[in-house]
Structure 1
Protein backbone atom coordinates (compact mmCIF):
# COMPACT_ATOMS: atom_id res chain seq x y z
CA UNK A 1 0.00 0.00 0.00
CA UNK A 2 1.34 3.45 -0.88
CA UNK A 3 2.25 5.91 1.84
CA UNK A 4 -0.71 8.11 2.90
CA UNK A 5 -1.00 11.39 1.00
CA UNK A 6 -3.29 13.21 3.41
CA UNK A 7 -3.04 14.14 7.08
CA UNK A 8 -4.60 11.86 9.69
CA UNK A 9 -8.14 12.82 10.72
CA UNK A 10 -8.11 13.40 14.50
CA UNK A 11 -11.17 13.23 16.74
CA UNK A 12 -9.58 13.97 20.13
CA UNK A 13 -10.16 17.77 19.86
CA UNK A 14 -13.88 17.12 20.37
CA UNK A 15 -13.16 14.91 23.38
CA UNK A 16 -13.66 11.59 21.59
CA UNK A 17 -12.00 8.54 23.13
CA UNK A 18 -12.93 6.07 20.38
CA UNK A 19 -12.62 5.99 16.60
CA UNK A 20 -13.08 3.31 13.96
CA UNK A 21 -10.61 3.34 11.09
CA UNK A 22 -8.67 1.44 8.46
CA UNK A 23 -4.96 0.77 8.88
CA UNK A 24 -3.22 2.59 6.01
CA UNK A 25 0.42 1.82 6.81
CA UNK A 26 2.49 -0.35 9.12
CA UNK A 27 6.24 0.07 9.58
CA UNK A 28 8.90 -1.12 12.04
CA UNK A 29 10.15 1.58 14.40
CA UNK A 30 12.93 0.51 16.73
CA UNK A 31 11.54 -2.17 19.03
CA UNK A 32 7.97 -1.17 18.16
CA UNK A 33 5.59 -1.30 15.24
CA UNK A 34 4.26 2.02 13.95
CA UNK A 35 0.62 1.70 12.91
CA UNK A 36 -0.96 4.55 10.97
CA UNK A 37 -4.72 4.73 10.61
CA UNK A 38 -6.84 7.03 8.47
CA UNK A 39 -8.35 8.57 11.63
CA UNK A 40 -7.64 8.33 15.34
CA UNK A 41 -8.88 9.42 18.74
CA UNK A 42 -5.34 9.13 20.19
CA UNK A 43 -3.52 12.41 20.92
CA UNK A 44 0.16 12.12 19.85
CA UNK A 45 3.12 13.97 21.32
CA UNK A 46 4.08 16.87 19.06
CA UNK A 47 7.69 16.87 17.86
CA UNK A 48 7.94 20.67 17.60
CA UNK A 49 6.42 21.60 20.98
CA UNK A 50 6.23 18.36 23.01
CA UNK A 51 4.37 19.81 25.98
CA UNK A 52 1.61 17.20 26.33
CA UNK A 53 2.51 13.50 26.46
CA UNK A 54 0.70 11.11 24.18
CA UNK A 55 -2.48 9.32 25.17
CA UNK A 56 -2.24 5.69 26.11
CA UNK A 57 -4.82 3.31 24.75
CA UNK A 58 -5.45 0.28 22.57
CA UNK A 59 -5.98 -0.79 18.98
CA UNK A 60 -8.57 -3.54 18.56
CA UNK A 61 -8.81 -5.84 15.57
CA UNK A 62 -11.62 -8.33 15.95
CA UNK A 63 -11.17 -9.98 19.33
CA UNK A 64 -7.47 -9.01 19.54
CA UNK A 65 -6.31 -5.99 21.50
CA UNK A 66 -2.92 -4.28 21.16
CA UNK A 67 -1.66 -1.74 23.70
CA UNK A 68 -0.63 1.66 22.33
CA UNK A 69 2.69 2.27 24.10
CA UNK A 70 3.19 5.72 22.62
CA UNK A 71 1.91 7.92 19.81
CA UNK A 72 4.04 10.33 17.77
CA UNK A 73 3.71 12.49 14.69
CA UNK A 74 5.05 11.05 11.45
CA UNK A 75 5.52 12.75 8.08
CA UNK A 76 5.93 11.63 4.48
CA UNK A 77 6.46 13.26 1.10
CA UNK A 78 5.22 10.08 -0.54
CA UNK A 79 8.62 8.45 -0.86
CA UNK A 80 9.82 7.96 2.72
CA UNK A 81 8.19 7.86 6.14
CA UNK A 82 9.77 9.81 9.02
CA UNK A 83 8.52 8.89 12.48
CA UNK A 84 8.96 11.20 15.45
CA UNK A 85 12.07 13.01 14.21
CA UNK A 86 10.75 15.04 11.29
CA UNK A 87 12.91 16.75 8.63
CA UNK A 88 10.34 19.51 7.94
CA UNK A 89 8.04 21.80 9.89
CA UNK A 90 4.51 20.57 10.52
CA UNK A 91 2.24 21.76 7.72
CA UNK A 92 4.93 21.98 5.04
CA UNK A 93 3.39 21.84 1.57
CA UNK A 94 3.81 18.53 -0.24
CA UNK A 95 3.98 16.54 2.99
CA UNK A 96 1.37 14.51 4.84
CA UNK A 97 1.44 14.51 8.65
CA UNK A 98 0.22 11.42 10.41
CA UNK A 99 -0.34 9.89 13.83
CA UNK A 100 1.84 6.83 14.35
CA UNK A 101 0.58 4.48 17.07
CA UNK A 102 3.52 2.54 18.54
CA UNK A 103 2.62 -1.01 19.57
CA UNK A 104 4.57 -4.18 20.30
CA UNK A 105 6.60 -5.41 17.33
CA UNK A 106 5.01 -8.88 17.34
CA UNK A 107 1.45 -7.55 17.07
CA UNK A 108 -0.61 -9.23 14.36
CA UNK A 109 -1.87 -6.18 12.50
CA UNK A 110 -1.54 -5.26 8.85
CA UNK A 111 -2.41 -2.63 6.25
CA UNK A 112 -6.06 -2.80 5.29
CA UNK A 113 -7.23 -4.07 8.69
CA UNK A 114 -10.28 -2.42 10.21
CA UNK A 115 -9.57 -1.43 13.79
CA UNK A 116 -11.08 0.41 16.73
CA UNK A 117 -8.82 2.96 18.41
CA UNK A 118 -9.53 3.79 22.04
CA UNK A 119 -7.70 6.25 24.30
CA UNK A 120 -7.49 5.49 28.01
CA UNK A 121 -10.09 7.70 29.71
CA UNK A 122 -8.23 8.21 33.00
CA UNK A 123 -4.98 9.20 31.28
CA UNK A 124 -6.80 11.55 28.93
CA UNK A 125 -8.68 13.25 31.77
CA UNK A 126 -5.62 13.78 33.95
CA UNK A 127 -3.58 15.27 31.09
CA UNK A 128 -6.52 17.40 29.92
CA UNK A 129 -6.90 18.84 33.41
CA UNK A 130 -3.15 19.49 33.55
CA UNK A 131 -3.17 21.27 30.19
CA UNK A 132 -6.17 23.44 31.01
CA UNK A 133 -4.64 24.36 34.37
CA UNK A 134 -1.41 25.27 32.57
CA UNK A 135 -3.16 27.74 30.26
CA UNK A 136 -5.18 29.30 33.07
CA UNK A 137 -2.06 29.67 35.22
CA UNK A 138 -0.17 31.34 32.38
CA UNK A 139 -2.88 33.99 32.02
CA UNK A 140 -2.99 34.52 35.79
CA UNK A 141 0.81 34.84 35.86
CA UNK A 142 0.73 37.46 33.11
CA UNK A 143 -1.75 39.47 35.17
CA UNK A 144 0.36 39.18 38.33
CA UNK A 145 3.52 40.38 36.55
CA UNK A 146 1.88 43.19 34.55
CA UNK A 147 3.32 45.91 36.79
CA UNK A 148 6.90 44.85 36.07
CA UNK A 149 6.83 46.06 32.45
CA UNK A 150 8.20 49.54 31.70
CA UNK A 151 7.59 49.33 27.94
CA UNK A 152 4.60 48.34 25.85
CA UNK A 153 4.74 44.60 25.21
CA UNK A 154 2.76 42.12 23.18
CA UNK A 155 -0.50 41.45 25.02
CA UNK A 156 -2.10 38.16 25.93
CA UNK A 157 -5.72 37.21 25.28
CA UNK A 158 -6.90 39.28 28.26
CA UNK A 159 -4.83 42.39 27.55
CA UNK A 160 -1.96 41.82 30.00
CA UNK A 161 1.67 41.94 28.81
CA UNK A 162 2.31 38.40 27.58
CA UNK A 163 5.16 37.35 29.88
CA UNK A 164 4.30 33.69 29.27
CA UNK A 165 4.43 33.98 25.50
CA UNK A 166 7.56 36.13 25.45
CA UNK A 167 9.71 34.41 28.10
CA UNK A 168 8.63 30.75 27.82
CA UNK A 169 11.50 28.30 27.36
CA UNK A 170 9.65 25.03 27.89
CA UNK A 171 6.33 23.68 29.07
CA UNK A 172 5.59 20.15 30.19
CA UNK A 173 2.12 18.88 30.96
CA UNK A 174 1.81 16.25 33.69
CA UNK A 175 -1.23 14.44 35.06
CA UNK A 176 -3.26 17.22 36.73
CA UNK A 177 -0.50 19.79 36.42
CA UNK A 178 2.41 21.29 34.54
CA UNK A 179 5.90 22.76 34.84
CA UNK A 180 6.70 25.93 32.85
CA UNK A 181 10.14 27.51 32.63
CA UNK A 182 10.74 31.18 31.75
CA UNK A 183 14.12 32.65 30.86
CA UNK A 184 14.78 36.01 32.54
CA UNK A 185 17.51 36.94 30.06
CA UNK A 186 18.92 40.19 28.73
CA UNK A 187 16.51 40.33 25.80
CA UNK A 188 13.56 40.14 28.19
CA UNK A 189 14.96 43.00 30.24
CA UNK A 190 15.61 45.04 27.11
CA UNK A 191 11.97 44.46 26.18
CA UNK A 192 11.02 46.24 29.39
CA UNK A 193 10.58 43.49 31.99
CA UNK A 194 12.10 44.24 35.41
CA UNK A 195 12.99 41.08 37.39
CA UNK A 196 14.54 42.97 40.33
CA UNK A 197 13.40 41.68 43.71
CA UNK A 198 11.56 38.76 42.15
CA UNK A 199 13.55 36.21 44.14
CA UNK A 200 12.29 37.67 47.42
CA UNK A 201 8.69 37.85 46.25
CA UNK A 202 7.97 34.35 44.96
CA UNK A 203 5.49 33.50 47.71
CA UNK A 204 3.60 36.73 47.09
CA UNK A 205 3.60 36.03 43.35
CA UNK A 206 2.18 32.55 43.95
CA UNK A 207 -0.52 33.97 46.22
CA UNK A 208 -1.54 36.47 43.54
CA UNK A 209 -1.75 33.81 40.83
CA UNK A 210 -3.62 31.43 43.16
CA UNK A 211 -6.19 34.11 43.97
CA UNK A 212 -6.92 34.73 40.30
CA UNK A 213 -7.19 31.02 39.60
CA UNK A 214 -9.57 30.53 42.52
CA UNK A 215 -11.81 33.28 41.10
CA UNK A 216 -11.85 31.69 37.65
CA UNK A 217 -12.45 28.18 38.97
CA UNK A 218 -15.32 29.45 41.14
CA UNK A 219 -16.86 31.01 38.01
CA UNK A 220 -16.66 27.55 36.36
CA UNK A 221 -15.48 29.22 33.14
CA UNK A 222 -16.43 27.12 30.12
CA UNK A 223 -13.58 25.71 28.01
CA UNK A 224 -13.75 24.49 24.43
CA UNK A 225 -11.40 23.69 21.56
CA UNK A 226 -12.17 25.40 18.27
CA UNK A 227 -10.73 24.01 15.03
CA UNK A 228 -10.80 25.01 11.39
CA UNK A 229 -10.69 21.43 10.10
CA UNK A 230 -10.56 17.82 11.24
CA UNK A 231 -7.01 16.92 10.22
CA UNK A 232 -3.94 16.72 12.45
CA UNK A 233 -2.33 19.95 11.22
CA UNK A 234 -5.49 22.06 11.03
CA UNK A 235 -5.34 25.02 13.41
CA UNK A 236 -6.88 24.49 16.85
CA UNK A 237 -7.48 27.06 19.57
CA UNK A 238 -8.14 26.76 23.32
CA UNK A 239 -11.02 29.07 24.25
CA UNK A 240 -12.03 29.89 27.82
CA UNK A 241 -14.99 32.12 28.67
CA UNK A 242 -13.48 33.92 31.67
CA UNK A 243 -15.28 36.64 33.64
CA UNK A 244 -12.97 39.20 31.97
CA UNK A 245 -13.81 37.96 28.50
CA UNK A 246 -13.06 35.21 26.03
CA UNK A 247 -9.44 34.04 26.22
CA UNK A 248 -8.00 32.33 23.13
CA UNK A 249 -4.66 30.49 22.94
CA UNK A 250 -3.45 28.43 19.96
CA UNK A 251 -3.13 24.85 21.20
CA UNK A 252 -3.12 21.32 19.81
CA UNK A 253 -3.72 19.55 23.11
CA UNK A 254 -6.73 18.16 24.96
CA UNK A 255 -8.64 19.98 27.68
CA UNK A 256 -11.21 19.86 30.43
CA UNK A 257 -14.70 21.16 29.68
CA UNK A 258 -14.57 23.95 32.27
CA UNK A 259 -12.28 25.42 34.89
CA UNK A 260 -14.63 24.10 37.56
CA UNK A 261 -13.38 20.60 36.72
CA UNK A 262 -9.89 21.56 37.93
CA UNK A 263 -10.91 21.82 41.57
CA UNK A 264 -8.33 23.66 43.66
CA UNK A 265 -5.40 24.98 41.59
CA UNK A 266 -2.13 26.06 43.17
CA UNK A 267 1.16 27.29 41.76
CA UNK A 268 4.66 27.32 43.22
CA UNK A 269 7.69 29.24 41.96
CA UNK A 270 11.41 28.66 42.04
CA UNK A 271 14.29 30.62 40.58
CA UNK A 272 16.98 28.39 39.11
CA UNK A 273 20.16 28.98 37.14
CA UNK A 274 20.57 27.75 33.57
CA UNK A 275 24.14 28.36 32.44
CA UNK A 276 24.22 31.77 34.04
CA UNK A 277 20.70 32.79 32.98
CA UNK A 278 18.07 32.99 35.73
CA UNK A 279 14.99 30.90 35.00
CA UNK A 280 11.63 31.25 36.71
CA UNK A 281 10.01 27.85 37.12
CA UNK A 282 6.27 27.63 37.74
CA UNK A 283 4.77 24.33 38.93
CA UNK A 284 0.99 24.18 38.60
CA UNK A 285 -1.06 21.53 40.41
CA UNK A 286 -4.79 20.93 40.13
CA UNK A 287 -6.79 18.89 42.65
CA UNK A 288 -10.09 17.95 40.96
CA UNK A 289 -12.94 16.51 42.95
CA UNK A 290 -13.02 12.72 42.95
CA UNK A 291 -16.15 10.82 42.00
Structure 2
Protein backbone atom coordinates (compact mmCIF):
# COMPACT_ATOMS: atom_id res chain seq x y z
CA UNK A 1 0.00 0.00 0.00
CA UNK A 2 1.32 3.43 -0.97
CA UNK A 3 2.20 5.85 1.85
CA UNK A 4 0.17 9.04 1.63
CA UNK A 5 2.12 12.31 1.70
CA UNK A 6 1.78 16.00 0.99
CA UNK A 7 2.07 16.88 -2.70
CA UNK A 8 5.48 18.21 -3.71
CA UNK A 9 4.77 21.30 -5.83
CA UNK A 10 6.84 22.13 -8.91
CA UNK A 11 5.08 25.22 -10.30
CA UNK A 12 7.62 27.53 -8.61
CA UNK A 13 10.48 25.94 -10.51
CA UNK A 14 9.65 26.56 -14.19
CA UNK A 15 8.42 22.98 -14.54
CA UNK A 16 5.49 22.38 -16.88
CA UNK A 17 5.75 18.63 -17.42
CA UNK A 18 6.41 15.90 -14.89
CA UNK A 19 5.96 12.16 -14.46
CA UNK A 20 4.66 11.08 -11.05
CA UNK A 21 2.95 8.27 -9.16
CA UNK A 22 -0.75 8.34 -8.22
CA UNK A 23 -1.19 8.02 -4.46
CA UNK A 24 -4.96 8.46 -4.04
CA UNK A 25 -8.17 8.43 -6.09
CA UNK A 26 -11.63 9.70 -5.20
CA UNK A 27 -14.73 9.13 -7.34
CA UNK A 28 -17.39 11.87 -7.25
CA UNK A 29 -20.35 13.03 -9.32
CA UNK A 30 -17.99 15.54 -10.99
CA UNK A 31 -15.59 12.85 -12.13
CA UNK A 32 -12.43 11.21 -10.78
CA UNK A 33 -10.12 13.17 -8.51
CA UNK A 34 -6.54 11.96 -8.23
CA UNK A 35 -3.51 13.01 -6.20
CA UNK A 36 0.10 12.41 -7.25
CA UNK A 37 3.34 12.53 -5.28
CA UNK A 38 4.46 15.61 -7.21
CA UNK A 39 2.76 17.95 -9.68
CA UNK A 40 3.57 20.95 -11.91
CA UNK A 41 -0.08 22.09 -11.63
CA UNK A 42 -1.01 25.14 -9.56
CA UNK A 43 -4.37 24.59 -7.78
CA UNK A 44 -6.90 27.23 -6.87
CA UNK A 45 -6.76 28.06 -3.15
CA UNK A 46 -9.74 27.16 -0.96
CA UNK A 47 -9.05 30.17 1.30
CA UNK A 48 -8.13 33.02 -1.04
CA UNK A 49 -9.13 31.97 -4.58
CA UNK A 50 -7.62 34.96 -6.34
CA UNK A 51 -5.48 32.93 -8.75
CA UNK A 52 -7.28 30.43 -11.04
CA UNK A 53 -6.12 26.85 -11.39
CA UNK A 54 -3.85 25.72 -14.19
CA UNK A 55 -5.12 23.94 -17.28
CA UNK A 56 -3.47 20.97 -18.92
CA UNK A 57 -3.51 17.24 -19.54
CA UNK A 58 -2.55 13.92 -17.98
CA UNK A 59 -1.42 10.80 -19.83
CA UNK A 60 -2.63 7.54 -18.22
CA UNK A 61 -1.64 4.22 -19.74
CA UNK A 62 -0.78 5.98 -22.99
CA UNK A 63 -4.09 7.87 -23.25
CA UNK A 64 -4.25 11.66 -22.85
CA UNK A 65 -7.07 13.22 -20.79
CA UNK A 66 -7.84 16.89 -20.10
CA UNK A 67 -7.51 18.00 -16.48
CA UNK A 68 -10.96 19.46 -15.83
CA UNK A 69 -10.17 21.17 -12.51
CA UNK A 70 -7.29 21.49 -10.08
CA UNK A 71 -8.07 22.33 -6.46
CA UNK A 72 -6.50 22.29 -3.04
CA UNK A 73 -7.24 19.15 -1.05
CA UNK A 74 -6.46 17.71 2.38
CA UNK A 75 -6.07 14.05 3.30
CA UNK A 76 -6.84 12.68 6.76
CA UNK A 77 -4.01 10.17 7.16
CA UNK A 78 -5.85 7.94 9.63
CA UNK A 79 -8.71 7.27 7.20
CA UNK A 80 -7.18 8.10 3.81
CA UNK A 81 -10.18 10.36 3.12
CA UNK A 82 -9.65 13.23 0.67
CA UNK A 83 -11.46 16.54 1.30
CA UNK A 84 -11.51 19.09 -1.51
CA UNK A 85 -11.81 22.87 -1.59
CA UNK A 86 -14.56 24.18 0.72
CA UNK A 87 -15.06 20.73 2.26
CA UNK A 88 -11.62 20.90 3.91
CA UNK A 89 -12.45 20.88 7.65
CA UNK A 90 -9.08 21.86 9.13
CA UNK A 91 -6.41 24.55 8.93
CA UNK A 92 -2.91 23.91 7.65
CA UNK A 93 -0.51 22.46 10.18
CA UNK A 94 -3.14 20.18 11.75
CA UNK A 95 -1.53 16.95 13.02
CA UNK A 96 -2.53 13.83 11.10
CA UNK A 97 -3.38 15.68 7.89
CA UNK A 98 -1.50 16.58 4.69
CA UNK A 99 -2.44 19.13 2.03
CA UNK A 100 -2.39 18.04 -1.59
CA UNK A 101 -3.09 19.15 -5.15
CA UNK A 102 -6.26 17.43 -6.43
CA UNK A 103 -6.69 16.92 -10.19
CA UNK A 104 -10.09 16.18 -11.73
CA UNK A 105 -10.53 14.02 -14.83
CA UNK A 106 -13.39 12.22 -16.55
CA UNK A 107 -14.86 9.08 -15.00
CA UNK A 108 -14.08 7.35 -18.30
CA UNK A 109 -10.36 7.36 -17.53
CA UNK A 110 -8.76 4.11 -16.43
CA UNK A 111 -6.64 5.30 -13.51
CA UNK A 112 -5.45 3.39 -10.46
CA UNK A 113 -3.35 4.01 -7.36
CA UNK A 114 0.37 3.46 -8.08
CA UNK A 115 -0.09 4.26 -11.78
CA UNK A 116 2.71 6.36 -13.20
CA UNK A 117 1.18 9.30 -15.08
CA UNK A 118 2.55 12.21 -17.09
CA UNK A 119 1.22 15.65 -16.14
CA UNK A 120 1.54 18.56 -18.58
CA UNK A 121 0.53 22.13 -17.78
CA UNK A 122 -0.74 24.52 -20.46
CA UNK A 123 2.30 26.83 -20.30
CA UNK A 124 0.79 29.60 -22.44
CA UNK A 125 -2.22 29.88 -20.14
CA UNK A 126 -0.13 29.70 -16.97
CA UNK A 127 2.23 32.38 -18.32
CA UNK A 128 -0.74 34.69 -18.99
CA UNK A 129 -1.98 34.21 -15.42
CA UNK A 130 1.55 34.80 -14.12
CA UNK A 131 1.79 38.09 -16.00
CA UNK A 132 -1.59 39.15 -14.62
CA UNK A 133 -0.64 38.26 -11.05
CA UNK A 134 2.79 39.94 -11.02
CA UNK A 135 1.28 42.99 -12.74
CA UNK A 136 -1.24 43.22 -9.90
CA UNK A 137 1.58 43.35 -7.34
CA UNK A 138 3.48 45.99 -9.31
CA UNK A 139 0.32 48.08 -9.75
CA UNK A 140 -0.67 48.14 -6.08
CA UNK A 141 2.87 49.06 -5.04
CA UNK A 142 2.75 51.96 -7.49
CA UNK A 143 -0.69 53.02 -6.21
CA UNK A 144 0.55 52.88 -2.62
CA UNK A 145 3.50 55.10 -3.53
CA UNK A 146 1.39 57.71 -5.33
CA UNK A 147 -1.18 57.91 -2.51
CA UNK A 148 1.53 58.00 0.16
CA UNK A 149 2.78 61.37 -1.08
CA UNK A 150 -0.43 63.41 -1.10
CA UNK A 151 -3.47 61.56 0.22
CA UNK A 152 -2.71 60.60 3.84
CA UNK A 153 -3.14 63.30 6.47
CA UNK A 154 -1.47 61.25 9.21
CA UNK A 155 0.98 58.39 9.50
CA UNK A 156 -0.56 54.97 8.86
CA UNK A 157 0.61 52.03 10.99
CA UNK A 158 0.83 49.63 8.06
CA UNK A 159 3.60 50.20 5.53
CA UNK A 160 4.20 48.17 2.41
CA UNK A 161 7.49 46.53 1.46
CA UNK A 162 8.78 49.81 -0.01
CA UNK A 163 7.93 51.82 3.10
CA UNK A 164 4.76 53.49 1.80
CA UNK A 165 1.39 53.65 3.57
CA UNK A 166 -0.25 50.35 2.66
CA UNK A 167 -3.51 51.46 1.07
CA UNK A 168 -3.77 48.04 -0.60
CA UNK A 169 -3.62 46.17 2.69
CA UNK A 170 -6.10 48.47 4.43
CA UNK A 171 -8.68 48.80 1.66
CA UNK A 172 -8.58 45.68 -0.52
CA UNK A 173 -11.89 43.81 -0.52
CA UNK A 174 -11.26 41.37 -3.36
CA UNK A 175 -8.55 40.54 -5.87
CA UNK A 176 -8.86 38.28 -8.89
CA UNK A 177 -6.33 37.32 -11.53
CA UNK A 178 -7.19 36.44 -15.13
CA UNK A 179 -5.09 36.16 -18.26
CA UNK A 180 -2.88 39.28 -18.43
CA UNK A 181 -5.13 41.11 -16.00
CA UNK A 182 -5.72 41.66 -12.30
CA UNK A 183 -8.89 43.17 -10.82
CA UNK A 184 -8.80 44.69 -7.33
CA UNK A 185 -11.74 46.20 -5.48
CA UNK A 186 -11.05 48.65 -2.64
CA UNK A 187 -13.50 49.90 -0.03
CA UNK A 188 -13.05 53.47 1.19
CA UNK A 189 -15.16 53.44 4.34
CA UNK A 190 -15.17 55.31 7.66
CA UNK A 191 -12.43 53.17 9.17
CA UNK A 192 -9.98 54.11 6.43
CA UNK A 193 -10.82 57.80 6.75
CA UNK A 194 -10.21 57.59 10.51
CA UNK A 195 -6.80 56.05 9.81
CA UNK A 196 -5.92 59.16 7.83
CA UNK A 197 -6.81 58.60 4.17
CA UNK A 198 -8.32 61.57 2.37
CA UNK A 199 -10.88 59.48 0.49
CA UNK A 200 -12.85 62.33 -1.05
CA UNK A 201 -9.73 63.90 -2.56
CA UNK A 202 -8.62 60.49 -3.82
CA UNK A 203 -11.91 59.90 -5.63
CA UNK A 204 -11.85 63.41 -7.09
CA UNK A 205 -8.32 63.03 -8.43
CA UNK A 206 -8.61 59.57 -10.04
CA UNK A 207 -7.48 60.77 -13.47
CA UNK A 208 -4.30 62.34 -12.09
CA UNK A 209 -3.61 59.38 -9.79
CA UNK A 210 -4.04 56.93 -12.67
CA UNK A 211 -1.53 58.87 -14.76
CA UNK A 212 1.01 58.96 -11.93
CA UNK A 213 0.61 55.24 -11.21
CA UNK A 214 1.17 54.36 -14.86
CA UNK A 215 4.22 56.63 -15.03
CA UNK A 216 5.70 54.90 -11.98
CA UNK A 217 5.06 51.45 -13.44
CA UNK A 218 6.81 52.47 -16.67
CA UNK A 219 9.87 53.55 -14.69
CA UNK A 220 9.99 50.27 -12.80
CA UNK A 221 9.54 48.08 -15.89
CA UNK A 222 12.42 49.92 -17.59
CA UNK A 223 14.73 48.43 -14.94
CA UNK A 224 14.15 45.01 -16.57
CA UNK A 225 14.95 43.36 -13.24
CA UNK A 226 14.44 39.70 -12.44
CA UNK A 227 11.59 38.38 -10.29
CA UNK A 228 12.04 35.28 -8.15
CA UNK A 229 9.96 33.02 -5.92
CA UNK A 230 11.51 31.88 -2.65
CA UNK A 231 10.04 28.63 -1.30
CA UNK A 232 10.49 27.64 2.33
CA UNK A 233 9.69 24.02 1.50
CA UNK A 234 8.31 21.67 -1.15
CA UNK A 235 4.74 21.41 0.15
CA UNK A 236 1.71 23.41 -0.93
CA UNK A 237 1.33 24.85 2.58
CA UNK A 238 4.96 25.96 2.93
CA UNK A 239 5.42 29.73 2.67
CA UNK A 240 6.38 31.21 -0.69
CA UNK A 241 7.58 34.76 -1.36
CA UNK A 242 7.54 37.02 -4.41
CA UNK A 243 10.83 38.94 -4.62
CA UNK A 244 11.54 41.85 -6.98
CA UNK A 245 14.06 44.71 -7.10
CA UNK A 246 12.47 48.14 -7.65
CA UNK A 247 15.74 50.04 -7.94
CA UNK A 248 16.07 53.11 -5.74
CA UNK A 249 12.67 52.35 -4.18
CA UNK A 250 13.96 49.10 -2.68
CA UNK A 251 13.57 45.32 -2.84
CA UNK A 252 10.15 43.77 -2.24
CA UNK A 253 9.64 40.41 -0.56
CA UNK A 254 6.00 39.60 -0.03
CA UNK A 255 4.13 36.36 0.72
CA UNK A 256 2.26 35.00 -2.29
CA UNK A 257 1.17 31.55 -3.39
CA UNK A 258 0.50 32.15 -7.08
CA UNK A 259 2.60 31.75 -10.22
CA UNK A 260 4.58 34.72 -11.51
CA UNK A 261 6.83 36.12 -14.22
CA UNK A 262 10.59 35.63 -13.97
CA UNK A 263 11.51 39.15 -15.08
CA UNK A 264 10.11 42.60 -15.79
CA UNK A 265 11.41 41.94 -19.33
CA UNK A 266 8.38 39.73 -19.98
CA UNK A 267 6.15 42.82 -20.19
CA UNK A 268 5.65 45.09 -23.15
CA UNK A 269 3.64 47.30 -20.80
CA UNK A 270 1.38 47.38 -17.75
CA UNK A 271 -1.49 49.86 -17.66
CA UNK A 272 -3.83 50.63 -14.78
CA UNK A 273 -7.42 51.92 -14.89
CA UNK A 274 -9.05 53.34 -11.75
CA UNK A 275 -12.85 53.55 -11.64
CA UNK A 276 -15.42 54.39 -8.98
CA UNK A 277 -18.04 51.82 -8.01
CA UNK A 278 -20.56 53.75 -5.98
CA UNK A 279 -19.50 56.29 -3.36
CA UNK A 280 -17.17 54.08 -1.35
CA UNK A 281 -15.66 51.55 -3.76
CA UNK A 282 -12.71 51.87 -6.07
CA UNK A 283 -11.95 49.40 -8.87
CA UNK A 284 -8.39 48.99 -10.13
CA UNK A 285 -8.04 47.10 -13.40
CA UNK A 286 -4.46 46.21 -14.25
CA UNK A 287 -3.81 45.16 -17.85
CA UNK A 288 -0.53 43.68 -19.02
CA UNK A 289 0.89 43.00 -22.47
CA UNK A 290 3.39 40.29 -23.26
CA UNK A 291 6.64 41.42 -24.80
CA UNK A 292 6.95 39.86 -28.25
TM-score interval (norm. to shorter): over 0.9
RMSD: 1.5
Is 2:44 the counterpart of 1:49?
A: no
Query: What SS is found at the alignment partner of 2:130?
Result: helix
**Partner Cα distance (2:220, 2:195) in 1:** 29
**TM-score normalised to structure 2 length:** 0.94
**Partner Cα distance (2:157, 2:267) in 1:** 30
Change (3 A) 1:282 1:18: same
Out of 101, 113, 117, the residue aligned to residue 115 of structure 1 is 117
Q: CA deviation at 1:103?
A: 1.0
Name 2:23's counterpart in structure 1. 24
Query: More deviation in 230-239 or 81-90?
Result: 81-90
**Partner Cα distance (2:48, 2:94) in 1:** 16
Name 2:169's counterpart in structure 1. 165
CA offsets 1:227-278 (integer angstroms, 9 cap, x no match): 11111111100000111221111001111111121211100011113xxx71
Matches within 5 A, 1:49-128: 49-78=48-77, 79=79, 80-85=81-86, 86-128=88-130
Is 2:261 the counterpart of 1:248?
A: no
Q: CA deviation at 1:61?
A: 2.2
Q: CA deviation at 1:199?
A: 2.4
Name 2:132's counterpart in structure 1. 130
Q: What 5-or-longer segments of structure 1 have no aligned partner? A: none
Asked if the contact 2:8/2:236 (under 8 Å) is kept, the reply is yes
Asked if the contact 2:17/2:118 (under 8 Å) is kept, the reply is yes
Asked if the contact 1:45/1:72 (under 8 Å) is kept, the reply is yes
Q: What 5-or-longer segments of structure 2 have no aligned partner? A: none
Query: What SS is found at the alignment partner of 1:138?
Result: helix
Query: What SS is found at the alignment partner of 1:36?
Result: strand
Asked if the contact 2:12/2:259 (under 8 Å) is kept, the reply is yes
**Partner Cα distance (1:168, 1:212) in 2:** 20
**Partner Cα distance (2:161, 2:175) in 1:** 19
Asked if the contact 1:167/1:184 (under 8 Å) is kept, the reply is yes
Out of 202, 205, 215, the residue aligned to residue 201 of structure 1 is 205
**Partner Cα distance (2:28, 2:143) in 1:** 41
